[in-house]
C-alpha cells in the first residue's frame, strides 16, 4: 500500500509568537520550527499501516527551502521519501490543496493521511479541498483507522460533536488525523543518520503547473485584547456572594 502524508512546517506551538512591526503577520525570524503536530500523527499512522500491510510512505510538504528539515524529520521517523514544494511566503489553503492534489495525481497513492489542521493558521481546509478536487471521499478527525486487508476500504472512527462516528471509506481516499489517533514515535539516532540519505525531491508551484495566487489574503494580525484579570476573593462565601450579587450568574 502506498500512503501519502503531508507535513507542514509550523512554529513550535509551545512558543509565543510576536506580531510583525507592520501588523501584516507574525515575526518568523528566530522562531523554532517543528512538524505540524497533527501531521506527525498522520505520519505515525501511515508508518503503522505500512508496518502491517507493507508498501511505501511518501511525505509532501509546502514551504520555504528550510522546510526540508521538517521533511527529513518525518523521514527519520521512518517515511521512505519526501517531496517539498518550495514556496516563500504564505500559501493559502486553496493553493496548497491544488498543489497536493496535483502531486497525488502523479504519485497515485492508495491512501492519503493529513493532519486535521495546521496549528499556525488553524484553517483546517486543505484536506477537504484535495478530496473535492479529486472526487474522493474523506474521513476527518480520525481517532482510529483500520485498513481492510485487501486495501480497498478503511474503517475510520471520527471524533465529532456529541460522540464517535464510524464510517467506511472507499480507497483511494483521505483521512485526517485527530489528536488521539496515536502517539508519534521519536526518531532514533541511527534513523536520523539514515534519513539524510533518503530521497527528497524539490519542486515548485510553477513546475507543478499550479497557480499559487492566494484566494485568501492576510490583511492584519494582532494579539487579542487581554482579558482583564479580576480580583482574588478571600473564601468561598465571598465568592458566592460576588457571583450572586455582583455578576448575578447564580
Contact 175, 169 (CB under 8 A): yes
With contacts defined by CB under 8 A, name the span among 55-63, 74-82, 197-205, 238-246 that binds other proteins: 238-246
Nearer to other proteins, 33 or 121 (CB): 121
Residue 124 in the binding site for other proteins (CB under 8 A)? yes
- Please name which of 103, 18, 7 lies closest in space to residue 46, comparing C-alpha atoms: 7
* By the rule CB under 8 A, 32 interacts with other proteins: no
Give least dist CB 57 to other proteins, A.
Answer: 22
- Residues 100, 105, 106, 110, Cα dihedral to 10°: 90
**Residue 200 found at the interface with other proteins (CB under 8 A):** no
Which of residues 69 and 125 has its CB atom nearest to other proteins in the complex? 125
The C-alpha atoms of residue 99 and residue 182 are separated, in whole angstroms, by 27
**Least distance from C-beta 167 to other proteins, angstroms?**
5
Q: Does 143 bind other proteins (CB under 8 A)?
A: yes
Map residues 205-234 to x or -, x wherever contact with other proteins holds by CB under 8 A.
---------xxxxxxxxxxx--x-xxxxx-
Shortest distance, position 104 Cβ to other proteins, whole Å = 14
| Residue 177 near other proteins by CB under 8 A | no
- Asked if 48 touches other proteins (CB under 8 A), the answer is no
Residue 113 and residue 176 in contact, taking contact as beta carbons nearer than 8 Å? yes
Q: How many CA atoms lie within 13 A of 221 on its CB side?
A: 15
Binding of other proteins by 17 (CB under 8 A): yes
Alpha carbon distance 5, 167 (integer Å): 20
Identify residues 71-110 at the interface with other proteins (CB under 8 A): 92-94, 97
Any idea which residue has 474523506 for its cell?
A: 138
Q: Does 149 bind other proteins (CB under 8 A)?
A: no
Question: Site for other proteins (CB under 8 A): which residue of 21, 54, 162, 190?
Answer: 162
Residue 4: helix, strand or coil by DSSP?
A: strand
CA angle 198–13–121, rounded 5-degree value: 90
Examine residue 53 and tell whether it contacts other proteins (CB under 8 A). Answer: no
Could you tell me if 107 and 71 are in contact, meaning their C-beta atoms sit under 8 angstroms apart?
A: no
Amino acid at each position: 500500500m502506498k500512503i501519502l502524508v503531508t507535513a507542514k512546517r509550523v512554529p513550535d506551538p509551545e512558543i509565543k509568537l510576536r506580531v510583525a512591526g507592520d501588523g501584516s503577520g507574525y515575526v518568523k525570524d528566530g522562531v523554532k520550527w517543528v512538524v505540524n503536530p497533527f501531521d506527525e500523527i498522520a505520519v505515525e499512522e501511515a508508518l503503522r499501516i505500512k508496518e502491517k500491510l507493507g508498501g511505501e510512505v511518501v511525505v509532501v510538504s509546502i514551504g520555504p527551502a528550510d522546510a526540508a528539515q521538517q521533511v527529513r524529520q518525518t523521514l527519520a521517523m521512518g517515511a521512505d521519501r519526501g517531496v517539498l514544494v518550495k514556496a516563500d511566503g504564505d500559501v493559502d489553503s486553496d493553493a496548497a490543496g491544488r498543489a497536493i492534489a496535483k502531486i497525488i495525481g502523479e504519485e497515485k497513492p492508495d491512501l492519503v493521511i493529513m493532519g486535521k489542521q495546521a496549528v499556525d493558521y488553524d484553517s483546517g481546509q486543505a484536506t477537504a479541498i484535495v478530496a473535492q478536487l479529486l472526487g474522493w471521499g474523506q474521513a476527518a478527525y480520525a481517532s482510529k483507522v483500520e485498513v481492510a486487508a485487501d486495501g480497498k476500504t478503511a474503517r475510520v472512527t471520527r471524533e465529532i460533536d456529541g460522540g464517535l462516528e464510524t464510517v467506511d471509506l472507499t480507497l483511494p481516499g483521505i483521512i485526517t488525523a485527530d489528536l488521539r489517533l496515536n502517539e508519534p514515535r521519536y526518531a532514533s539516532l541511527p534513523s536520523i543518520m539514515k534519513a539524510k540519505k533518503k530521497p527528497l525531491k524539490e519542486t515548485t508551484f510553477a513546475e507543478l503547473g499550479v497557480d499559487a495566487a492566494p484566494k485568501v489574503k492576510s490583511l492584519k494580525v494582532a494579539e487579542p485584547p487581554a482579558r482583564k484579570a479580576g480580583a482574588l476573593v478571600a473564601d468561598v462565601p465571598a465568592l458566592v456572594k460576588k457571583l450572586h450579587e455582583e455578576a448575578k450568574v447564580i
